Amino acid sequence: MIKDIRIVSRRFNLPQSHTLEVARQHGAYRSIETLTERTPEGIIAAVEASGLRGKGGGGAPTGAKWRLMEGEFDGRPKYVVVNADESEPGTFKDGHILSKDPHLLIEGILLTCYALGAHDAYIYIRGEYYERQQILQHAIDEAYEAGILGQSIMGHDYRVDLTVHRGAGAYICGEKSALLESMEGKRGHPRLKPHQKEPEWYFGNPTLINNVETIATVPFIVTEGADAYRQYGTERSPGTLLFALSGHVNRPGVYEAPFGTSLMEYIEHYGGGIRNGGTLKAVIPGGASTPVLTADEAAQARLDYESMQGLGSALGTGGMIVMDESVDMVEALKNLMAFYHHESCGQCTPCREGTGWVDAILARILAREGNRDDLKKLLDISETMNGKTVCVFAPAASSVIDAMVQKFETEFLRYLDTGGAA
């Protein structure tokens, strides 16, 4: 049976949890009050030892990423950027942190800045999160007034300034290098990958980017210790994640759970099962860029990186889209490909042209004007989109196409066999 574990969401249900007063009554900023007890190295070491993995979708080890920020870099300033672009369909967990416990995020940012020697931090928030941005900004204003942010954080001889940077409607700006391009005032075109391990660069200065939830996990690790975090989850996916449910479940929403939880148990326990007592057909496990799981696969799935990978999918952001037997999978894929078509930054050929072509072919299939070659064509284009582009947007789309077409081929064939030019 599932036991509730609340690390990041522990204050979510308190009335007025977003206010400084309530947050402080329930432990916010303790780690900053006692900052003198810690060294930057101590904080980095704790994050490293906790095994914390990035919660923006990639699951990269956070400690190792922080280590890339060590060094002098010719005295250039260091920056911390929090990724609150959250635009991956099916994903809405960061929004909960922003609106329910913004002070947890600010506390995490302070610790991160202090650990890495950064004095300026930014939160890049998607433009559509206007109301959530208002709440966040209010929390930041409160923190400034209380001397928690600013020239000397909670009286310590350390400055941290925090600025919210509003996006304007572009999923790709969640990709870290596109995000930085956007913050440099440019179009959100992802950058070419560096040839060696190095930090990100903001106007040529070393910069760390982490997801909202990743940073919001740091206070717990710092105050409770790496082992306290590691007691949850699995060996290789330690801790918890704010998983989310949407689609055909009775109680959609965001519920924190340890990595390794059984997917079906999670759906039952938190989601209250399939809507209207229906049967499960498929689950997209971690946001729209993870390959779909059939009901059979979902039955074996555990919510951790390794298990999902073992099933040929990915944990992604942990935002699950649950589909019952009423769903037409051709329409579902068309819906997702319309998204990819709309959101491709357009920089590289395979993605710019591939997403549009796939979208057009699916439209043709749905209009019953497709032919059997179209399925092969879809897989061919998908192959060209895989591993040949600047960023992993196109490969993600490719994996989504492959899984849908391969796992639900009969549904596609039904469109092609009843009419059409086959």
Partner 1 sequence: MSTQSVTITVDGTPIEVNPDRMLLPELLDKGFSIPHFCYQESLGSDGNCRMCMVEIAGKKRPQISCDTPIVAGMEVRTRGESIEKVRRDILELELINHPVDCPICDQAGECSLQDYYMEYGLYQGKVDKKEKHHFDKHIDLGANVLHDQERCVLCQRCVRFCRDVTHTDELCVAGRGDHSYITTIPGETLHNAYAMNVTDLCPVGALTSKDFRFQQRVWFLATSPSVCHGCAKGCAIDIDHAKSKYHDDTIYRFRPRKNPEINGEFICDAGRLSYKETQTYLLRTCLAKEEILADAEALDRMKAILTEDEYPIVVLADANLYTEELAALQAFARTFHAQLYAPLEAYHDPAFGDDWLKSSQRAANAEGVKRLGIATEMPTLNDNTLVINVNHPDGHRTANRIDLLTHRPDENTERVPARLTLPIAPWVRSSGHLINEDGIEQYCEQVLRRNDPTPTLLERLAHFLDKGDDTILDNMETAL
Partner 2 sequence: MSFTWTSAHRAELDALKERYPSPKALVLPALWKVQEQEGFLSLEGIEAVAELTGYSKAEVYGVATFYTMFHLQPQGTYTLQVCKTLSCALNGQGTILDHLKERLGIEVGETTPDGQFTLTQVECLGSCGTAPVMQVNDTLHEHLTPESVDTLLDTLSDKGGSL
Binding site for ligand FMN (CB under 6 A): 54-58, 60, 83, 85-88, 172, 174-176, 209-211, 214, 391-393
CB of 81 to ligand SF4, least distance (A): 19
Binding mask 113-152 for partner 2 (x = CB under 8 A): -------x-----xxxxxx---------------------
Our finding on whether 253 is near ligand SF4 (CB under 6 A) is no
User: In what side-by-side order are the strands of the sheet with 280-284?
Assistant: 253-258, 240-247, 319-324, 280-284, 293-294
Q: Which of 80, 148, 172, 209 touches ligand SF4 by CB under 6 A? A: 172
- Angle at the Cα of 83 (from 78 to 89), degrees rounded to 5? 160
Q: Which of 137, 205, 223, 250 touches partner 2 by CB under 8 A? A: 205
| Residue closer to partner 2, measured from CB, 46 or 123 | 123
Binding mask 95-114 for partner 2 (x = CB under 8 A): x-------------------
CB of 313 to ligand FMN, least distance (A): 16
Our finding on whether 176 is near partner 2 (CB under 8 A) is no
| Residue closer to partner 2, measured from CB, 122 or 229 | 122
Q: What is the 3-state secondary structure (H, E, C) of the chain?
A: CCCCCCCCCCCCCCCCCCCHHHHHHCCCCHHHHCHHHCCHHHHHHHHHHHCCECCCCCCCEHHHHHHCCCCCHHHCCCEEEEEECCCCCCCCHHHHHHHHCHHHHHHHHHHHHHHHCCCEEEEEECCCCHHHHHHHHHHHHHHHHCCCCECCHHHCCCCEEEEEEECCCCHHHHCHHHHHHHHCCCCCCCCCCCCCCCCEEECCEEEEEEEHHHHHHHHHHHHHCHHHHHCCECCCCECEEEEEEEECECCCEEEEEECCCEHHHHHHHCCCCEHHHCCEEEEECCCCCCCCEEHHHHHHCECCHHHHHHCCCCCCCCEEEEEECCCCHHHHHHHHHHHHHHHCCCCCHHHHHHHHHHHHHHHHHHCCCCCCHHHHHHHHHHHHHCCCCCCCHHHHHHHHHHHHHHHCHHHHHHHHHCCCCC
CB of 339 to ligand SF4, least distance (A): 12
Binding site residues, partner 1, CB under 8 A: 170, 187, 192, 195, 341-350, 352-357, 360, 380-381, 383-384, 387-390
- Given ligand SF4, partner 1, partner 2, none, residue 391, with its beta carbon under 5 to 8 Å by kind, binds ligand SF4
CB of 320 to partner 1, least distance (A): 27
Query: Which residue, among 230, 229, 243, has the nearest Cα to 302 in the 3D structure?
Result: 243
CB of 44 to ligand FMN, least distance (A): 15
- Given partner 2, ligand FMN, ligand SF4, none, residue 234, with its beta carbon under 5 to 8 Å by kind, binds none
Our finding on whether 318 is near partner 2 (CB under 8 A) is no
Position 31, amino acid: S
CB of 302 to ligand SF4, least distance (A): 30
Our finding on whether 367 is near partner 2 (CB under 8 A) is no
Residues between 364 and 403 that touch ligand SF4 (CB under 6 A): 389-391, 393-394
Q: Tell me how many residues contact ligand SF4 (CB under 6 A).
A: 14
- Given partner 1, ligand FMN, partner 2, none, residue 77, with its beta carbon under 5 to 8 Å by kind, binds partner 2
Binding mask 230-259 for partner 2 (x = CB under 8 A): --------------xxxxx---xxx-----
Interface ranges with partner 2 (CB under 8 A): 77, 79, 86-92, 95, 120, 126-131, 161, 163, 165-171, 182-188, 202-203, 205, 244-248, 252-254, 284, 288, 319, 321, 323, 327, 331-332, 335-336, 338-339, 342-343, 345
